[in-house]
Chain A
Amino acid sequence: MPAKSSYTDSLKDHLRLERTIESDVVRELNTHLEDKSHELIESGLSEEEASITAANLLGPPRIVARQMYEVYSQGSWRQALFAALPHLLIAALFSLHFWKDTIWLLGIVIAVACAVIYGWCHGKPAWLFPWLGYCLTPVIVIGILLIYLPGNWTWFAAIAYIPLALLVVVPITKKTIRKDWIFASLMLLPIPIVIGWMLALELDNTLIWYEHLQGFASQIALSFAVLALTAATFIRVRQRWAKVGTILTLEILVLVIVALGNKSAIGFGGWLLLVLLSLMLVLGPALLERKIKASDQKQLKLHNKSAR
């Protein structure tokens, strides 16, 4: 029954649920199509007509998939809190002026490592991705710090560091996009903010950056508190468009906070670049997902051909 299999394929393309739930849903709708086709064949339709009619009666797979997504996409309040927690920890780090406290810093590193390992080994739930973002952030931060190396050292270090950094960032981002691109957007959320604050603090000037850090601590804390709100809202809203809207709106709000923190250091041009970077990191995964899916399908076809 080609209509049945094309319906199922299309449904699989649009469903973005956990693997076990997804296979259950597809199997269940398959049995429905079987029953309906059987009924239609008994009423006098040919097998092909029955299959097409059954698929049409079930409704467009895109809409069925969207409704199913909305059933499962809402996390509990506990999950929302857990997703917001890494941002809240960073916000507390700055609001309580704990960034010099080694125990506090070590505590955050251990918490991030434990949460990421636990989440990664337990089906990669939605709350994992904000934590995972903080595993990638140090890679970006070190990359930016290389800019401040003296003389030609920046170039030497960049040549060595960039491939290494990509070796870490690309596979993790790719794996996340394979699950759902929207999680990659959630994961990459802190990166423009961290870059923004690093630029605002003028790290190249050792005399003033620490002073700036003291002065901006409350604004830095506020920006991470807004990120926490973003993560929690993302978990609680059902609709996909609302999740993307939440990320975009609140991310730009955070960038406004960063810009207000130090107008002179970033400037309007720098702020616009940060907004562009944010848009790229939030929406880029959607484009990458298409490319990854297309290349996966190509590989599958090649594999099937060689198997024959």
Chain B
Amino acid sequence: MYYKRELLKGSTDSLLLCLINNQPMYGYKIIKEIEKRSNGYFQFKEGTLYPALHRLEKAGLLQGRWQRLPSGQERRYYYITAKGQKAMVERLATWQDFSTAVALIMQPATG
């Protein structure tokens, strides 16, 4: 459990950047979307999501904007910035290299 939590902690920023890159979203929707897309594997502690979003915003990777929903309610949508897109591409490449290397080591040795 601890290992899974640490893994999620290390990947939170990349997951958020990828998700918001596909579509601008607000906090509650992000939690639902991550849960849905990962078939319930990733379950964010709700209170920790907002500090993470604000950290990315302060770093200039995201930008938050209040927007009115069709129902008339307002929600704070997060948009990825150009700097955020660049960071996401870099992180994704690093993650893919890392996961390929881990898979190569984990698979049973042949020959």
Asked whether any CB of chain A lies closer than 8 Å to the CB of B9, the reply is: no
Most interface-central of B26, B28, B75 (chain A CB within 10 A): B28
Within 8 A of A (CB), among B42-60: 45-48, 50-51, 54-55, 58
Q: In the complex, A36→B44 CA distance in Å?
A: 14
What is the interface size of chain A, counting residues whose CB is below 8 A from a CB of the partner?
21
Asked whether any CB of chain B lies closer than 8 Å to the CB of A299, the reply is: no
Q: In the complex, A64→B47 CA distance in Å?
A: 6
Asked whether any CB of chain A lies closer than 8 Å to the CB of B22, the reply is: no
Asked whether any CB of chain B lies closer than 8 Å to the CB of A106, the reply is: no
Q: CB-CB < 8 A to B50: which residues of A?
A: 25, 28-29, 32, 64, 68
Within 8 A of B (CB), among A9-24: 24
Asked whether any CB of chain A lies closer than 8 Å to the CB of B91, the reply is: no
Q: CB-CB < 8 A to B51: which residues of A?
A: 64, 67-68, 70-71
Q: In the complex, A300→B102 CA distance in Å?
A: 60
Within 8 A of A (CB), among B40-91: 45-48, 50-51, 54-55, 58, 64, 73-76
Q: CB-CB < 8 A to B28: which residues of A?
A: 31-32, 35-36
CB <8 Å contact, A72 and B46: no
Q: In the complex, A30→B81 CA distance in Å?
A: 25
Asked whether any CB of chain A lies closer than 8 Å to the CB of B24, the reply is: no
Q: In the complex, which of the residues A31, A36, A67, A68 contacts B75, with contact meaning CB atoms closer than 8 Å? A: A31
Q: CB-CB < 8 A to A71: which residues of B?
A: 51, 54-55, 58
Within 8 A of B (CB), among A29-46: 29, 31-32, 34-36
CB <8 Å contact, B54 and A25: yes
Within 8 A of B (CB), among A114-137: none
Q: In the complex, A6→B34 CA distance in Å?
A: 29
Asked whether any CB of chain B lies closer than 8 Å to the CB of A57, the reply is: yes
Produce 1/0 per residue, A62-74, CB < 8 A to B: 0110011011100
Q: CB-CB < 8 A to A157: which residues of B?
A: none
Q: In the complex, which of the residues B46, B48, B73, B76 contacts A34, with contact meaning CB atoms closer than 8 Å? A: B73
Asked whether any CB of chain B lies closer than 8 Å to the CB of A256, the reply is: no
Q: CB-CB < 8 A to B54: which residues of A?
A: 25, 68, 71-72
Chain A, Cβ-Cβ closest to B53: A28
Q: In the complex, A67→B58 CA distance in Å?
A: 13
Q: In the complex, A29→B51 CA distance in Å?
A: 11
Q: In the complex, A161→B55 CA distance in Å?
A: 48
Q: CB-CB < 8 A to B58: which residues of A?
A: 71-72
Measured CB to CB, the closest approach of chain B to A21, in angstroms, equals: 8
Q: CB-CB < 8 A to A32: which residues of B?
A: 27-28, 46, 50
Known: A71-B54, A71-B55, A72-B58. A28 touches B47 (CB 8 A): no
Give me the interface of A with B, judged by CB distance under 8 Å: 24-25, 27-29, 31-32, 34-36, 57-60, 63-64, 67-68, 70-72
Provide 21 A-B residue pairs closer than 8 Å at the C-beta atoms, listed in order of the A residue.
A27-B76, A28-B76, A29-B50, A31-B27, A31-B73, A31-B74, A32-B50, A34-B73, A36-B28, A36-B46, A58-B47, A59-B46, A59-B47, A59-B48, A60-B47, A63-B47, A64-B50, A67-B47, A68-B51, A71-B51, A72-B58
Give me the interface of B with A, judged by CB distance under 8 Å: 26-28, 45-48, 50-51, 54-55, 58, 64, 73-76
